[in-house]
Chains A and B, each alone.
Chain A
């Protein structure tokens, strides 16, 4: 079948799927079935090639940062921004951006890929650049073990043709550097003083901080406050204001800066880079703030113990009414064990206003054992949200939620306030 025909067919399926309000991956699935090399051939035309971003936590916001940073440097960027991070999601995103002749008008592709699905992708389309963020215990029922996840990420690094950016402070990710040519490796890191604030998976239950596997780093996050941060870029101190919330997002900014520096080399406009960074907002549900009745509602996505702990450390409960919503659908992970690896004692003093989600009672039980007071429990998200809003008027609110709970909560909140709907 000709490329033009496949393109037209794919675009039609995409429009029909949109009319039906269907999922974002279906048209991609159709096109991939018709032409398995569709993505490969289309991406091969890009002058600056393909960039892959993977890791267990923070992919979406980091990808958003990298895309916006590159755009402000004057590049035309293709990305899979619908959050559909499997290869058929990439195909679906491509369909939206190519012209009728199947040409993609972009300089570079920046793709967020799920660690399990990235393997198939990089085997077919070796990226020029890759960024590996971290390995945290995430949906282990899907991947088996954390060391297995590391091997998946190592495979991405090995398939990368030019440069690999790695997290110096995550021992599993930094360890990937040992199997790569030194010239291929770039790292981002943290000042020693900040290490204890960002626990890696190894020190969930121990305070012993292990020695670093590699010591060099292109960009180091050296200080941060609520709305500002200081980075050491090639040893030079750069301070900037930030709209990003959550310290994990700020650390991922160091990752994004490193990657963009590596991609652009001496063509980089650094002052522009920092100016752009100061304006970037987090991706939906990653510390984003909605406004309802003049009060902020913060959505904090939690999907594994390290992420939940960082969330609790990032956001001071003082003055806020707190809700937690835990689902156990496939995309959330079915196993509830992870809740027991999170320390909830920071909520002890002020308590939790509302608990919801399919596993609301598992969450409540977890809080009982940290002796955190709970006001209301209702597994039904719609009722719980309404109640949560009703019982905490004139107060800022914060909702910690798993992935599918977040999708539902956004849909519910959309009825009360202007929320960007998830495509």
Chain B
């Protein structure tokens, strides 16, 4: 291991960690180690001072109650996150935080929860819950495999690209075939599973961007044995919704 460190910020680790999203943090941490870097995971929760020199940001989904708790704090640190996103920092936000990285979330009783406007997206609470295995195809990452479980439905605006197109499942909403959103190196998605362990292409994309941003070039000291993930992906592609 070299002493080149990469700081991973786990956004709202106490309240936004449902459905195994911790697996995303662990996957980044291990692959960084296996590539010979020194990862450092920082947990950020409401009220904390926003740390300096963060290289990757990861955030997950939560209960509706968890979302309520973090919302005002998220608006408080909005400018930090926006600035980092504009400067090309890699980020991954899943489900609940994906929604709040957008323009707004409109609840069942027509309350508007403001987001931090990194993605030009709008989300509406619906009665139908979109649940099941999901496969999404992206030009950049190939087949993205995961599991979705959400009742908010997200619609993309004009200034945002989808992460990919749904092959099995629902994705952003039950009306079009888009799933997730992209802004520079920020990825938003509904996919749990956890997402990163079964989609190492995305993990390595986030890692590469972080290392290039910080150290100028990415040198893999080691090739990772991904035979287990290949088998796990093969099985997952065959499972029913």
B18 within 8 A of A: yes
Contact of A362 among B131, B149, B232 (CB under 8 A): B232
Interface presence of A193 (CB below 8 A): no
Closest to A338 in B: B20
Chain A residues whose C-beta falls within 8 Å of the C-beta of B30 in the assembled complex: 369, 371
- Taking CB atoms, residues of chain B closer than 8 Å to A335 are 19, 147, 149, 192-193
Q: A144-B129, A338-B19 are in contact. List 15 more A-B contacts (CB 8 A).
A: A137-B19, A144-B131, A144-B149, A205-B13, A305-B20, A335-B192, A337-B19, A337-B147, A339-B20, A341-B23, A361-B234, A362-B235, A364-B231, A364-B232, A365-B229
Question: A224 on the interface (CB 8 Å rule)?
Answer: no
Judge if B22 is at the interface, Cβ distance under 8 Å. yes
Interface assignment of A376: CB less than 8 Å from any CB of chain B? no
Given contacts A147-B64, A204-B17, A369-B26, contact A337 B193 (CB under 8 A): yes
Choose one: A137, A361, A366, A368; the contact of B18 (CB below 8 Å).
A137
Expressed in whole angstroms, the Cα–Cα distance for A338 and B151 within the complex equals 19
| Count of chain A residues near B, Cβ 8 A | 35
| Among A145, A147, A379: residue with most chain B CB under 10 A | A145
Bound form: Cα–Cα A379–B149 in Å: 26
Counting chain B CB atoms within 10 Å of each CB, the highest count among A145, A146, A204, A336 belongs to: A336
- Beta-carbon contacts of B183-203 to A below 8 Å, as 1s and 0s? 000000000111001100000
28 A-B pairs, CB-CB below 8 angstroms? A137-B19, A140-B18, A144-B131, A146-B63, A147-B64, A205-B14, A205-B22, A208-B14, A334-B132, A335-B147, A335-B193, A337-B23, A339-B23, A340-B21, A340-B22, A340-B26, A341-B17, A341-B20, A358-B239, A359-B235, A360-B235, A365-B232, A369-B23, A369-B27, A369-B30, A370-B26, A371-B30, A379-B235
Q: In whole Å, how far is A66's beta carbon from the nearest beta carbon of chain B?
A: 31
The docked-state distance in angstroms from the alpha carbon of A174 to that of B209 is 46
Q: Does B223 contact A (CB under 8 A)?
A: no
Residue B154 is within 8 A (CB to CB) of chain A in the complex: no
Q: Are B65 and A147 in contact (CB under 8 A)?
A: yes
In Å, the complex CA distance between A364 and B18 comes to: 22
B236 within 8 A of A: yes
Compute how far the CA of A141 lies from the CA of B130 in the bound complex, rounded to whole angstroms.
9
Known contacts A205-B14, A361-B232: does B22 contact A145 (CB below 8 Å)? no
A206 interface residue (CB < 8 Å to B): yes
State in angstroms the CA–CA spacing of A364 and B230 once bound together.
11
Quick check: is B133 within 8 A (CB to CB) of the other chain? yes
Chain A: minimal CB distance from B19 (Å) = 4
Task: Say yes or no for A328: interface residue by CB 8 A criterion.
Answer: yes
Contact B23 A141 (CB under 8 A): no
Q: How far is the CB of B96 from chain A (nearest CB, A)?
A: 11
What residue in chain A is nearest B200 (Cβ atoms)?
Answer: A365
Establish whether residues B192 and A337, one from each chain, have CB atoms under 8 Å apart when the complex forms: yes
**Closest chain B residue to A340, Cβ basis:** B23
**Chain A residues near B236 (CB-CB < 8 A):** 336, 362
Find out whether the CB atom of B63 lies under 8 angstroms from the CB atom of A145. Answer: yes
Q: What separation, in Å, do the CA atoms of A370 and B22 have in the docked complex?
A: 13
Binary contact readout B9-42 vs A (1 if CB under 8 angstroms, 0 otherwise): 0000110011111110011001000000000000
- Chain A residues near B197: list those with CB within 8 A: 340, 365-366, 369
Q: Which residues of B contact A (CB under 8 A)?
A: 13-14, 17-23, 26-27, 30, 63-65, 129, 131-133, 147, 149, 151, 192-194, 197-198, 228-229, 231-232, 234-236, 239-240
Residues of chain B lying within 8 A (CB to CB) of residue A336: 20, 147, 193, 236
Chain B residues closer than 8 Å to A379, beta-carbon distance: 235
Alpha-carbon distance A370/B66, docked complex (angstroms): 27
Closest to B31 in A: A369
Give Cα A362–Cα B147 distance, bound, in whole angstroms. 13
CB neighbours of A366 from chain B (8 A): 23, 197
**Is the Cβ of A140 less than 8 Å from the Cβ of B149?**
yes
**In the bound complex, CA of A360 to CA of B192 (Å):** 18
Cα of A23 to Cα of B240 in the assembled complex, Å: 23
Q: Which chain A residues in 339-375 approach chain B with CB under 8 Å?
A: 339-341, 358-362, 364-366, 368-371
Which residues in A have their C-beta under 8 angstroms from that of B27? Answer: 369
A290 CB to nearest chain B CB (Å) = 29
Contact among A141, A305, A368 for B228, CB-based, below 8 A: A368
Cα–Cα distance between A281 and B231 once the two chains are bound (Å): 39
Beta-carbon contact of A364 and B228 below 8 Å: yes
Q: A365 and B131: CB pair below 8 A?
A: no
Complex CA gap A368/B198 in Å reads 12
Shortest Cβ gap from A312 to chain B (Å): 16
A365 touches B13 (CB 8 A): no
Chain A residues, Cβ within 8 Å of B131: 141, 144
Tell me which residues across on chain B come within 8 A of A204, comparing CB atoms: 17
Q: Is the CB of B19 within 8 A of A140?
A: yes
B61 CB, min distance to chain A CBs, angstroms: 10
Q: Which residues of B contact A377 (CB under 8 A)?
A: 231
Q: A205-B14, A341-B20, A362-B236 are in contact. Are A141 and B63 (CB under 8 A)?
A: no
Residues of the B chain whose Cβ atoms lie less than 8 Å from the Cβ of A140: 18-19, 149
Is there an interface contact between A147 and B17, defined as CB atoms closer than 8 Å? no
Which residues on the A side are within 8 Å of B23 (C-beta)? Answer: 337, 339-341, 366, 369
**Could you say which residues of chain A place their CB within 8 Å of the CB of B132?**
141, 334
CB <8 Å contact, B63 and A205: no
CB pair B228 A361 closer than 8 Å: yes
A338 CB to closest chain B CB (Å) equals 6
Complex: how many Å from CA A345 to CA B18? 21
Residues of A close to B234: CB separation below 8 A? 361
Whether the Cβ atoms of A206 and B20 lie closer than 8 Å is no
Contacts of A362 in B (CB 8 A): 198, 232, 235-236
Please give, as numbers and ranges, the residues of chain A lying within 8 Å of B192 by CB-CB distance: 335, 337
B7 to chain A, nearest CB (A): 19
Residues of B near A368 (CB, < 8 A) are: 228
Chain A residue numbers with a CB within 8 Å of B133 are 334
Residues of B within 8 A of A146 (CB): 18, 63
